[in-house]
Amino acid sequence: MKTFWENDLVQNAANYSVAILCAVLFLTIFELVTKYKNWEEIQKGNMAVAMATGGKIFGIANVFSHSISQHDTLFQMIGWGLFGFVLLLLGYFIFEFLTLRFKIDEEIENDNRAVGFISLVISVGLSYVIGAGI
């Protein structure tokens, strides 16, 4: 059985499956902390929400990419991926907190594409910094 888990195809399938499941879980958590409903807004054509959500998806995937490449076991990959997600989530709250002139969530919900784009870039940028550290 040990050789089964050491097979590259099995390891890649396991990493892929776990990363997808974690991404769905983490996007659900993001859905809970935003004031708007991501998928409803995207369905309406809200590009700001689409950009912000796309940045979150890219950020999560990038963190897991680094986690997979740096850690040998599935449990280490999950642990570091979870840690990276918590840091991405913290970055989201810091972005909202430091923007005193307006509310990020309200602007994104109102389809302010400039704010949606900045949110995307912050998620992607932070994911590279987080990935370098894990």
Per-residue pLDDT of the chain (134 residues; tens, 9 = 90+): 567 767 888 888 989 999 999 999 999 999 999 999 999 999 999 999 999 999 999 999 999 999 999 987 889 999 999 999 999 999 999 998 888 888 999 999 999 999 999 999 999 999 999 999 98
Q: What is the dihedral of CA 123, 29, 24, 61, to 10 degrees?
A: 20
Query: Residue 6: its pLDDT value, please?
Result: 75
Token pair for 101 = 């002139």
CA dist list (Å): 79 to 5, 9, 14, 52, 87? 19, 22, 15, 25, 13
pLDDT given for residue 2 in this prediction: 64
For residue 20, which phi and psi values (nearest 5 degrees)? -65, -45
Q: What is the pLDDT of residue 1?
A: 58
pLDDT confidence of residue 64: 94
Burial class of residue 6 in the structure, from the number of CB atoms within 10 Å of its CB (0-12 exposed, 13-18 middle, 19+ buried) = exposed
User: Is the pTM of the predicted complex or chain greater than 0.75?
Assistant: yes
Overall number of domains in the chain: 1
pLDDT of residue 23: 93
Query: Which structural domain, as residue segments, surrounds residue 17?
Result: 2-133
The whole-number pLDDT of residue 11 equals 87
